[in-house]
Amino acid sequence: MPQRPAACLFDLDGLLLDTEPAHARAWQAAASHFGRPLDGAELLSLRGRRRLDCASQVRQWIVAAGGPRLSEEELLAVRQPLAEALLASAPAMPGAEALVRRCRALGIPMALATSSARPAVERKVAPHPWMALIDERVHGDDPELADGKPAPDAFLLAARRLGVATTACWAFEDSRAGVAAALSAGCRVHVLLPPGVSCRTYPEAVVCLNSLEEVRLDPES
């Protein structure tokens, strides 16, 4: 097992910042506003995906249940104000800051590979100055990004910008869509398990974590 990655590629929501409860509450409130509450499995399936991709899926669920044939924009008009208010104070995940600082101390290149658009990322990371240690960022609205997760594009683009092979990178994710994307890109994948989700639901190739505090980086290799 490799003890030292050529680079670390990080998801943001639910991995470095504890934003997923806020995202779930906002999607639930918006869907319920149009008469179609979401269940736990549906909310889990939205994790890690781009906002417009999520909006398209939720809109389909609303229409299939006999709700209004609204557009993604109409759905987001309800969802976004709720999300922005909730996300403004999202705390860091346990061990996130220490892991990023450890990578910087060891000289391990880092990149953010997130489905969130740049303006949303800037709002969420503003209270966390340590996030500035991650120099390279691939956002969900990056003009060079073709497809969002579960497509591998975000990780392929992040590794290319760092000048390293994806097969030499460690990717850190928390969502099924993100894990699928990182595996498809060829990364060694670490998954931070969401509450109530078993490691058995992921491919054997992934490294399951209950906390980022469990990550060990070899300073000698």
| Known active-site residue 18 | no
The CATH code of the domain at 20-87 is 1.10.150
Q: What is the pLDDT of residues 162-202, one digit of tens each?
A: 999 999 999 999 999 999 999 999 999 999 999 889 999 99
The correct CATH number of 7-18+90-214 out of 3.40.50.2300, 3.40.50.1000, 3.40.50.1110, 3.30.200.20 is 3.40.50.1000
Q: Which of 11, 53, 142, 174 is labelled catalytic? A: 11
Q: What is residue 105's predicted lDDT score, i.e. its pLDDT?
A: 96
Q: Percent of the chain scored above 90 by pLDDT?
A: 91
* Band of residue 221 on the pLDDT scale cut at 50, 70, 90: very low
Give ranges for CATH 3.40.50.1000 in the chain: 7-18+90-214
| Known active-site residue 147 | no
Give ranges for CATH 1.10.150 in the chain: 20-87
Q: Taking residues 73-86, what's their average pLDDT?
A: 94
Q: What is residue 1's predicted lDDT score, i.e. its pLDDT?
A: 44
Token pair for residue 106? 């060891």
